[in-house]
Amino acid sequence: MSDWFFQPSAKYLTAVEQAQAEFRNVWNQLKPPPFAAPFTGEAVDIRAMDYLDYEGIDDPPCGIEGAALVWGEVLRRAADMRWVMSYRGDLMLASSDESMLMCPFPRVFEVKRRSIPQFGKYQWAMEQAIVELIVCDRGEELIRRLLSRIPPDEDGGYTWEITESKQVSSVLRKWLQTSRGG
């Protein structure tokens, strides 16, 4: 293990389960919930969190820190990562070879507090993380599994913006041409 992080005790990992339980409780108070969301680390948990955010339903008592843990657990399960604790006490995700680290709290905090995207904030952050993991080339099977976490019919998500948006693609194309002398 690194000097920067270590294996968290079971006490700290229960925070993930507690956050999931709190979100599950809020979700199940919707009468009826619009779709099933178990809050067990499945992709549908992200969709449910985005629904709650869209509807203006407050986070449960675990707050944004708990939301980051729920979000992180979905990513952990999808990407074969494990929870580790930073030397500062933050729960983070690490790949088995420790070459990839992701800290859920800052990712969720940033996307929740900024104005873009207006909706689908948790999915946007998930897609950003997935793109980073794909760039790291962690194998075809993992890439297929990660891509399955991106809804194919989403317009306006992060991956749509970077691949289909004329504004983004034209800016990047111009930058690439000028930066490479072309």
Same domain assignment for residues 135 and 53? yes
60 vs 49, 52, 90, 96, CA distance in Å?
Answer: 11, 10, 20, 31
CB 130 within 8 A of CB 102: no
Q: Which tokens hold the place of 19?
A: 């956050």
Amino acid of residue 34: P
Distances (CA, A) of 18 to 21, 66, 74, 79, 87: 5, 8, 15, 22, 23
Same domain, 103 and 170: no
Question: What does the H/E/C string look like for 98-135?
Answer: CCCEECHHHHHHHHHHCCCCCCCHHHHHHHHHHHHHHH
Residue 104 CA to residue 121 CA, distance in Å, equals: 13
The whole-angstrom separation of Cα 162 and Cα 143 is 18
Instruction: Give per-residue pLDDT as tens, 117-131.
Output: 888 999 999 999 988
Q: Are 145 and 173 within one domain?
A: no
Nearest to 102, CA basis, from 122, 82, 77, 78: 82
Where residue 26 sits, what CATH number does that domain have?
1.20.120.1090
Domain residue limits at 87: 5-151
64 pLDDT above the threshold of 60:
yes
Confidence at 61, pLDDT banded by 50, 70, 90: very high
Based on the domain organization, do 129 and 167 belong to the same domain?
A: no
- Global pTM reads 0.87
Nearest to 1 by CA among 68, 79, 87, 89: 87
Domain count, the chain: 2
Instruction: Please report the beta strands in the chain, taking only residues with DSSP state E, as ranges in sequence order.
Output: 5-6, 82-86, 91-94, 101-102
pLDDT at 125: 93
More confident residue, 48 or 167: 48
Residues 91 and 172 in one domain: no
Q: Which residue is associated with the tokens 């790949």?
A: 95
| Same domain, yes or no: 71 and 94 | yes
Average pLDDT across the chain, whole number: 87
